A and B are shown apart, each in its own frame.
Chain A
């Protein structure tokens, strides 16, 4: 199934030179908006909007839990400015067409990506789950539970992670963690998402530069 890409500016999911960009056609049943405004098109099998931290509903509007069409959101997971992972989080609404999901999944999987389908919730799957854990690690560090090295080593040796939470935050950027958790905290309002002290400091320093 062919796909058309409408692109403006740099895409976080598909930086310049990505093979997926080269695979696009001038015509196709699927349209992907990479930085261009969402345009509904009922004549297509699926219309995809690249998301940052916002929900798909920001682009499509919502209707008391009945929203859904051939429109989907998506984002390729990245930890800050690190290289994108191989994961595509595909965002659906309550009444999204199953055929649209299947078609979107098919083009991404054909390009070699892993696809996980998420409801249209803030943080989708990964940031929703992992950001509170990173916040906890920052709190533990401040409270002296363990050193950063010991926390990271514990996660590598005890859980088989590729890297520990503090390493992960350093690699992705504490200021980026601040931005993500601030956005999640505004939606969920629970303390687990409140930006950690060290992330707040990093953000303030960056803002002062």
Chain B
């Protein structure tokens, strides 16, 4: 699939998701401008990118010349003006409507009129984010999966005011970048999180109701459904605080009881049992070794 997009900007490129998106763009041959508010986080992301692409070469997944070209195409700046000549700007900043709207408003005054804006939001409305700028017809949802540099899937959502042409242009870019786009409406959680967040909550409620231990629930789901991870293992990996934030984003919009934070989740977050990151969640972790419940 061909694309007219040549230069891509990534806002929040010092973060995990932003850095991954920048790798996707630069690896596919697009000039990529990384923007964040701190040079320190951009430098750290640059180092991680060099490490990731280096391993890709070591494992035979890309040639050394391709790695060199990808790195040469990456620039970093804390000056938003560096994004002025981008054809596509993808934002992957903090998941806050006000922050994203303010960012798009600022980009609107800097970027060329024909530039596309894409939001990597996983929970917020594309239409509401787009309302922060005067080019709502050129704003699309472009939700990458974590880790973006490894996962092919992108959930693509048009906002209410997104033009068909802009959506088609953004879609063509994802394909040119070697990704696999799917179309979804601008609804909370799109497809993936709309299915996953309530499912994970149901697993938490099953633990709380004494249906089975976390170990037995995960074992049943993996053995019975061929899932790679059980829901409680996944929650520990993602972080229970993240699940809480997802619930708080979804439930007020959908009023779906399954999307509301289960009492056990609230208690575990309050107790600091957040999963891998704190060494204790539904399982206990010691030096990365997992001990079943």
Contact = CB atoms under 8 A, between A and B. Distances in A.
B163 interface: no
Contact of B182 (A77, A89, A146, A192): A146
Nearest to A90: B216
Contacts of A154: 153, 155, 182, 184, 191-192
A157 B152 contact: yes
Nearest to A151: B191
Size class of the contact patch on chain B: 35 or more
B200 to A, nearest CB: 10
A126 B191 CA distance: 21
A10 to B, nearest CB: 21
Contact of A132 (B152, B198, B213, B216): B198
Contact of B151 (A114, A128, A155, A158): A158
A133 B225 CA distance: 13
Contact of A125 (B183, B187, B206): B206
A133 B212 CA distance: 19
A145 B216 CA distance: 33
Contacts of B103: none
B195 interface: yes
B63 interface: no
B223 A145 contact: no
Contacts of A140: 191, 194-195
Nearest to B234: A159
A126 B231 CA distance: 11
Contacts of A114: 219-220, 223
A53 interface: no
B212 A125 contact: yes
A168 to B, nearest CB: 8
Contacts, number: 141
B224 A77 contact: yes
A161 B222 CA distance: 10
B202 A165 contact: no
B211 A119 contact: yes
Interface string B201-237: 0110010011111001101110111111101000000
Contacts of B223: 77, 85-87, 114, 116
B94 interface: no
A200 interface: no
Given A132-B202, A151-B191, A125 B221 contact: yes
B284 to A, nearest CB: 20
Interface in B227-278: 227-229, 231, 257-258
A129 B219 CA distance: 13
Contact of B180 (A119, A132, A146, A157): A157
Given A126-B224, A150-B184, A118 B211 contact: yes
How large, as a class, is the contact surface on chain A? Answer: 35 or more
A53 to B, nearest CB: 15
Interface in B115-156: 145, 151-153, 155
Contacts of B145: 157-158
Interface string A124-158: 11101110110011001000111100110111011
- Which has the most chain B C-beta neighbours within 10 Å: A124, A130, A136, A145? A145
Interface string B16-41: 00000000000000000000000000
Interface of B: 145, 151-153, 155, 180, 182-185, 187, 190-192, 194-196, 198-199, 202-203, 206, 209-213, 216-217, 219-221, 223-229, 231, 257-258
17 contacts: A85-B223, A85-B224, A87-B219, A87-B224, A118-B211, A119-B212, A124-B220, A125-B206, A125-B212, A128-B211, A129-B202, A132-B258, A145-B191, A150-B182, A155-B192, A157-B145, A158-B191
Interface of A: 77, 85-87, 89, 114-119, 121, 124-126, 128-130, 132-133, 136-137, 140, 144-147, 150-151, 153-155, 157-162, 165, 190-192
